[in-house]
Every structure is written in structure tokens, then in C-alpha cells.
Structure 1
């Protein structure tokens, strides 16, 4: 039995085109990611995060005056409503996980009736994450510094110290790289919600809920855990061989979309190299490179022809660790970058003003007859 005439069921909507978008394009066969016309390798390591958000929203990079105005607008929106802070304190007292706290707090951002909710969401998500991180660790929140940019402010709010230029550049490269990635689960969720003419805050809360699931946003931490488990280069091959023998997935390798190396991994590998050249644990960086090399060799040996390459999660873990972030901040930090794409897709979907309403195929029983309770 089916829905409309000519329709066919596709599990997980695999290969189904659900939207036309100018925001980003993913070519899994070629290993290419385009962000509003720019190859990810061309723009992520050069643009500020403010420039990337502006680009995704307006389809062009800002000039000097536009960029200054946009930075000022973001800086003016970073204060949290009192109720949001109260909620975060209550969540912290109950040791609520980071992503749950982010989801709950994001839903309060409509309390002060913002005239530009997209700007509010981009400006305030890092404040929520940093504030909650400090509350969980028994510290008071750090007030945002209006003189610091978006990425620098996030690092500053986490530990109260002004970050160095190398750290800011590394974080900006990361946020830019993950700012959008086609019709992923969280982006699709946001577009479906806003397509009903619901509000942007609801759409972003839905996106955060989708990202929270381990099949979408939960792998960067485990990718680094494997490096720590190995401990030294000589252990890489026996540990990884044993994992493969047990049928375990090597976290940080292989991707559902990319059939060759994830281009975001290359961008973040370069960013990590620059960061660890001036800061961070050089021994850990060298070990990670050895683990990557060994994993790629063993994956080709155990699964020939699958072409399982390094994905964005591996170098995400290494880069964010190098910036001093604990693993429970990895996925919330991803959300801080991806909210640029989520909001851009919401604005695009709103301009189309078309409800997203796919069909379903009924496979249940038919022709049942009602019986009163005493006869069942």
C-alpha cells in the first residue's frame, strides 16, 4: 500500500533531494564542500566567523563598513535574559548534560521579543555554552567583552583570559568549516519547522535536538579517546588491529557522504598543525598523526575498496583539545558554528514559504472490525 500515485519509499530519504539551496553544496564523490560559492579550503582559514555568517545570510561577503556594523550588532546582542541565566543555574545544580542545557536555554531566547531572532541566536549561543560550562564547574559567568570578536569572546568567556591570535584563528577556522554542510539531519529539522511558519527560535531548538543525537553530533570526543587509549606510537597498530578484529568502528574515519577524504578534515588538519606549532601538546599532535596514518593503512587492509578516509571528527577533536576545550564542549561548540547555517537555511526556507510535507507508506493491518472490550 502506498501514498500518492507514483511515490516510492526510500529509507532515511537516502538520495532524495528535499531542497534547492545556495547556502552550501556537498559532493561526496569528489570530496568537495562549497560554502556560498567558496570551496571550504578557500575561505575557512581566512574569513572571520562574522564574515562567514554574513556570507551565508546574504550570499556575499561584507565590505569594511558592513562588517563593522555586523560585528557591532552581534556584540550588542550577547546579553542573556535573566530567565535564561536562572534556568542555566537550575540546570547546573542538577548536573544536566551540556547539550540538554543548550536546548533548554535556547528556547528562552524569545523572552525579550527580539526583532532579529537570527542575530540573537548566533550572538547568544556561545554565551549560553560558556556560561553553563562555568556554572557546572562552580564558577561565575564571565561577561562578554564588547571589544572582542565572536570567536575570541567564546574563548574568553570560557576561562576569563583573553586568547592569543593563534587560538582565535584556529577556532574561527573550525567554526567556519562546520558552519554548514548540506541537508544534514539538524538542518533538515530546522527547515521543516520553519516551513510551517513557526518561529526561528523553535526551529533552532529543533535543530539542537537533532544534533544532540549521537548519530549526528556525538563522535568527536570518542575520536580523541582512541588516541589517548593508544598512548604511544608503538601501541597504535596492535590497539587498532584489535578494534577492527572485534568489528568496532574506528571513530574519526569514514563518512556517510564522502567517498574520498572529507575536505573539512584537510582544512582542520592544517589548522591543527598551525595551532600545535605554537601552542598545545606537541607529543599528542605527533601521536595523533601516527594514529591517523596507521588507521588508514589498516582500514585499507581490512576493508579494501571501501576507501575509508579521515573525516572531520578526527581533527575536530584534536583542534578543540588543543584549544583547551574538554570533550563535553565539543558538540556544543559545533552548534555555535552550525547555527550560522541553521539560521541561513531558515531564512531561505521562509522566503520560499512552502510547507515541507512528504508522503508516507502505510504498511499496517487493514479491514479490522471493532469489538467491544468484553469481546476482545
Structure 2
């Protein structure tokens, strides 16, 4: 057994997966053989879920049935809704609220007592969890802001229904399409920290709800899911400063501050998802008659590339895209969870199919051969 220490498990192979492939040198992302560019352009989020969970794209009838099944599970049990209302009244952090609510969903799931490795039961549970997370996020946000929650609609697709519940207004086709594409782009991304935590949990033969709750908790950290919210806060600071974006970045770097949204553990070039979202950010700005967020982002991107050799990741352009859609900054990470839950579930299904308890070792570097003292000698 190798004694080489790999902090953060960087570069360590721990599993085989058929779900997503990343080429960090070429800037390539693939879900089950399909490029992210093709999926973002041509596939809905529901199609991508079906692909990740079943290994192939659905035909028309399969997709219609899948969408209807998902839509039928959007409502929350009254007790879950009451919990969300209490968390909103307490002004809980949005990701903490989501983590708590997802955990409670298991109490009202018809398959809660099924064997943790029962694939069919997990697919049913996965549909329910995925369908209800947008309802939780939208209801929490509205209640916290002093508004009434909006009941989900079954006639809208996954993306449009969330925007409807969030704003109490049916989105136009452009906004619905942009948001659906954002969900597709975030659906899976290899063994990132939250996905890995879901696999560690499921490797103990804990149930699907436990695995997804673990993943939500992991995603809440600022080094993972919280990055896009921090990007938007940075852009707003630049805007409020009345400084040129490049000048602001130079000043921030001189202070030793980090410029958010750059660099990636896997990509050595521009994140392919950032390219797609950058185009969406520009289009949204042009449609609104104000492209300042996009122009500011491009100026910062060009400076970081030329001076630091760093390329933007997906968080850099998802920030301005969401902001221009009127989405509150502090729910960017819950929206990330809304999308990534599809990948989490797919990886947990894989883990259950060929399970081995995930149990790495640590190198002991503490003291040795200490004599145990009596109380009087301590």
C-alpha cells in the first residue's frame, strides 16, 4: 500500500463511473458520452436527469411520463411546509434550511422503509427529492421575504415552475430556457466534494435521503457551492466602488484578497460551462438594455488571463446570469443544489450497485510511547 500523502485526495482514483467525464486540459465536460455543449443546447433538465439515472436519453413518451411523474411530486407535506415556514421565520441560512428540510422529507416518503440498495425505490425517492427541492427553496425565500408561498404547477417544466414559484409570475420563454440551461450545466461534475460526500454516506448503506442531506451540507461551504454568490458580491463591490474593474482587481490583489470565480481543481483552461453561461449573461444584458455586468466580467476575465494565467470557472458567469434574472444572491447555492441533486442521486445509484465501504487512512503524526500519569501527576 502506497504511503504517499495526497492531501484532499487530489489526483487519487477512488471509483469508476459512467456518468461524467472531464478533460481539464481541453476544457471538456461530457455526461454519459454527450458533450455539455450539445446537452445545453438541445436537452432539457428533465432529459438530462433521465440520461444520468437511466443511462440513455428518453424517447418522447418516456420523457412525457417522466416529466408528469416529477411534476406530481412537487407539493410538500404540511409538516414539511410548516418546518420551512419556521426556518424562514427564524431567518435561517438558506442552505441550512434546505439541509434540514431535505432530511425531513424522508419521514413522509412512501419508500422510506425500502432496502437502501433497492434501485427502483431509490429512483422513486430520487424523483420526489428532486421535485420537492425547488418548492422548498422558493417557499423559504418568499416566506423569509414576507410574501406568501406559491403553490407549484404541474403544467410547467422543472425550470419554469421554480421561477413561477419564486416570483409568483410565469416566466417568459427566454428566462425559462436560460434557467433550464443553467440547471443542465450544473447537473453533474465528477467526484466533486458534495458528490463524494454523498457516496461516502451511501457506502455505509445509509439511505438516499441521508446521502443527499450529506451532499447539501457539503455544498454549503464557500469553497464549493458558495462560490457563485461570492462572485456576485464581488461584482457588486466593483460596481459600488466606481472604479475601473481592472483597477479594482489590481487593488484587491495588492491587498492579498482573492478574486472569486477563477481557477479550478480540475480545469487548467476555461471551464466549458463558463463559456456557455457567459453567452447567456451577455444575451440577458442585451435584452434588458444594460450589459454592465457582462462587460465588467469580461474585463476581469481578460485581466486575470493575461496577468495571472487563470481562467474563469462556472461560478464566475453563473453569478451575473442569475442576478440578471432577479434571483436573490443568497439562494444561488440552493439553486446549485436544485440542479446537482440529479448527479448526486446518479452517483449514489452507482455506489449502491457496486458498493464497498469508503474508508481511507490517515498518517499518524502525533506523539508516541507516552506513559499514562496518575491524576496527581497531571
Mapping for residues 256-295 of structure 1, pairs under 5 Å: 256-279=265-288, 281-295=290-304
Q: Structure 1 pair 198/67, CA: closer, same or farther in 2 (3 Å)? A: same
Q: Equivalent residue for 1:342?
A: 344
Structure 2: tracts of 5 or more residues without a match: 112-123
Q: Equivalent residue for 2:87?
A: 91
Q: Is the 8 A contact 1:23 1:344 kept in 2?
A: yes
Q: Deviations over 1:76-113 (max 9, x none)?
A: 11111222111111111211010110000000111123
CA distance in 1 between partners of 2:55 and 2:295 (Å): 39
Higher relative contact order (CA 8 A, sep 6+): 1
Q: Equivalent residue for 2:249?
A: 240
Aligned length: 365
Question: Which of 156, 168, 176 is equivalent to 1:160?
Answer: 168
- Within the alignment, does 1:66 sit opposite 2:73 as a pair? no
Q: Is the 8 A contact 2:261 2:314 kept in 1?
A: yes
Q: Normalized against structure 2, the TM-score is what?
A: 0.92
Q: Structure 1 pair 7/234, CA: closer, same or farther in 2 (3 Å)? A: closer
Q: Equivalent residue for 1:140?
A: 148
CA distance in 2 between partners of 1:337 and 1:201 (Å): 16
Q: Is the 8 A contact 2:262 2:311 kept in 1?
A: yes
Mapping for residues 311-326 of structure 1, pairs under 5 Å: 311-326=313-328
Q: Tell me, what secondary structure is at the counterpart of 2:218?
A: helix
Q: Deviations over 1:286-339 (max 9, x none)?
A: 333334334433xx2xx3xxx301211111101101111011011110110100
Q: Tell me, what secondary structure is at the counterpart of 2:108?
A: coil
- Within the alignment, does 1:253 sit opposite 2:262 as a pair? yes
CA distance in 1 between partners of 2:166 and 2:33 (Å): 33
CA distance in 2 between partners of 1:336 and 1:45 (Å): 20
Q: Equivalent residue for 1:34?
A: 30
Q: Equivalent residue for 1:106?
A: 102
- Within the alignment, does 1:49 sit opposite 2:58 as a pair? no
CA distance in 1 between partners of 2:109 and 2:337 (Å): 23
Q: Structure 1 pair 294/365, CA: closer, same or farther in 2 (3 Å)? A: closer
Structure 1: tracts of 5 or more residues without a match: none
CA distance in 2 between partners of 1:283 and 1:124 (Å): 35
- Higher mean Cα deviation, 324-333 or 225-234? 225-234
- State the Cα RMSD in Å: 1.7
